[in-house]
Structure 1
Amino acid sequence: MEIKVLADNNTYIDQYFLGEPAVSYYIEADGCRILFDTGYSPAFISNASKMGVELEAITHLVFSHGHNDHTRGFCWLAEKNDLRNVEIIAHPGCFDEKTDETGLDIGSPLTEDEVRRTGKYRPSASPYFITGNCVFLGEIPQKNDFETRKQIGTRKIRGVKERDYVMDDSALALKTDQGLFIVTGCSHSGICNITEYAMEVCGERRIAGILGGFHLFDTDSRLERTIDYLGKLNVKAFYPCHCVSFKAKAKMNEVLPVEEVGVGLSIVL
């Protein structure tokens, strides 16, 4: 299994990739070429080209959730590539209209109908096994009392606006010889909830690593309980990025094996 970071807030010095506050990862596993999220702009396409990643050869496209910093780059991907044979996997609510508390559009520019016309759309709120060793987790249940979902603006369902708790937030779990490797976008569901559910779905308690946004910003009790939970799992490596503050990373690094993340990072298991 190999994962390459195509889009992230950070870039590595002297490598001259493009950075943006967004997420896109390229994953090779079990003969599949999976693109996980598409960032906010065509930056991930430029980075992929420099890294030798052939996006025209992807077999699967997975969306972690429907916010535009994870989906907007799809517009440029679809312009440049024929995606008719690509499986596009997401939670059924991924392409709902979404706005923040000020009314600003923060959702995907895509509609569900557009996605269906572009590729082989596979919406799933339940775990969906892409291969025997790679599963899209679907809707994440709450497993921990310190990780209750928070409202982020509103979503529109059949013309009616309602509070958005980002129920479409999901992740990938990959089985390896060293345990599970979990890939997440923003972890609006809670990174510990995601990890616990991944272990339940896969029947595996060993965690080789976790990559992605953990949506942790404050050095508060939630962060403390998150660190305590993750510390007890003896995870081999953490790759917090995107929506994790420096203060949160620094606090995690005191007791957890935290690695630096930036565009150009390659993880091989």
Structure 2
Amino acid sequence: MTTTITLLVDNRAETGLKHEHGLSVLIEQQGKRILFDNGQNDALFYNAEKLATPLHSLDLIILSHGHYDHGGNLARLLDINPDALFYAHPDCMQTRYSLHPNKAPRTISLTKTVVEAIEAFPDNQKKFITSPTEICSGIWLTGQIPRLCEIEDTGGPFFLDKEKKQVDQLNDDMSLWIETEDGLTVICGCCHSGIINTLNYIKQQTGEAARINNLLGGLHLVNANQQRLNGTIDYLNKQHIETIYPAHCTGDNSILLLKKQFKNKLQTAKAGLQLTL
């Protein structure tokens, strides 16, 4: 069974494609077309056209979590894919803010237009999940990921109100894994749950001895302290992952550290990247 993965949106892009702060990954397997996240602005449709990858024939549309840079094109996608199934966590439509010291509150939730489009989409085609779910043969969503690793500070300046009274736990953060003969390929949106928590949970579902062959996506190490970075590198080392493709919110400095440690096992992720499993 052949599976093709195309990175359509990322903070970086191959020559001739657009980049933006966001992420979108297309997965194609046995005639099924699955879009995991959909970026922020116009890079998605621009890059899809350049790569001759139509977005009007999707079978599944997945939202890894309810932030604007992962669900910016949802309204249009749901409109042009009226028969698709939509997967997300039930918390994805919360109003959310990023609150940095000495800065005005910034809304980072899905736009009103996107929320209205989700609400209007047929109920029998919306799948709000919280536990591991197989969405196609050998392709799974994690559902809500337990936060058990002590060194993974999965917080940040994220709140549900402008007064900083309600911390946003980002419980809707989900990742995806694909089962192949060579092992697992794991795709993360932002990995707000922490990459150690995420991979441990996936291995718990698939068997502790399961091999992780590829890791692609945002690892949310952009503001990680040195203890967390060291612990993450040590953990990833023990997993013997064949190739790591850090993207989106991993952070430039963190990518440099990962590159120093993993050398040729780490490949730069850019919009336009294509993998065949």
TM-score normalised to structure 2 length: 0.89
Match for residue 174 of structure 1? Answer: 178
Structure 2 unaligned regions, length at least 5 = none
1:141 aligns with 2:146: yes
Match for residue 103 of structure 1? Answer: 105
1:222 aligns with 2:220: no
Whole-angstrom CA distance in 2 between matches of 1:75 and 1:18: 20
Contact preservation (8 Å) 1:9, 1:20: yes
1:123 aligns with 2:153: no
Deviations 1:24-76 (A, max 9, x none): 11111243200011111122011011111111111001111101000112233
Contact preservation (8 Å) 1:30, 1:131: no
Question: Displacement, 1:124?
Answer: 0.4
Whole-angstrom CA distance in 1 between matches of 2:158 and 2:151: 21
Provide the secondary structure at the position in 2 that maps to 1:114.
helix
- Give the number of the structure whose residues are more often helix, by fraction: 2
Question: Displacement, 1:113?
Answer: 5.7
Match for residue 196 of structure 1? Answer: 200
Question: Displacement, 1:95?
Answer: 1.0
1:75 aligns with 2:52: no
Contact preservation (8 Å) 2:146, 2:201: yes
2:266 to 227, 249, 258: 258
Whole-angstrom CA distance in 2 between matches of 1:254 and 1:106: 33
Match for residue 153 of structure 1? Answer: 158
Match for residue 3 of structure 1? Answer: 5
1:88 aligns with 2:80: no
Whole-angstrom CA distance in 2 between matches of 1:67 and 1:165: 13
Q: CA RMSD in A?
A: 1.9
Over 3 Å counting, the alpha-carbon distance change for 1:113 and 1:77 in structure 2 is closer
TM-score normalised to structure 1 length: 0.91
5 Å matches for 1:1-40?
1-12=3-14, 15-40=15-40
Contact preservation (8 Å) 1:42, 1:76: no
Whole-angstrom CA distance in 2 between matches of 1:220 and 1:166: 23
Match for residue 212 of structure 1? Answer: 217
Contact preservation (8 Å) 2:78, 2:117: no
Question: Displacement, 1:153?
Answer: 2.4
1:232 aligns with 2:238: yes
Provide the secondary structure at the position in 1 that maps to 2:86.
strand
Contact preservation (8 Å) 2:131, 2:143: yes
Whole-angstrom CA distance in 2 between matches of 1:244 and 1:16: 23
Question: Displacement, 1:246?
Answer: 2.0
Q: Which shifted more, 107-116 or 259-268? A: 107-116
Question: Displacement, 1:247?
Answer: 1.7
1:59 aligns with 2:59: yes
Question: Displacement, 1:266?
Answer: 0.2
Structure 1 segments (4+ residues) deviating >4 Å? 110-113
Contact preservation (8 Å) 2:74, 2:117: no
Whole-angstrom CA distance in 2 between matches of 1:152 and 1:121: 30
Over 3 Å counting, the alpha-carbon distance change for 1:129 and 1:116 in structure 2 is farther
Contact preservation (8 Å) 1:40, 1:73: yes
Whole-angstrom CA distance in 1 between matches of 2:184 and 2:140: 11
Contact preservation (8 Å) 2:25, 2:37: yes
Question: Displacement, 1:152?
Answer: 3.5
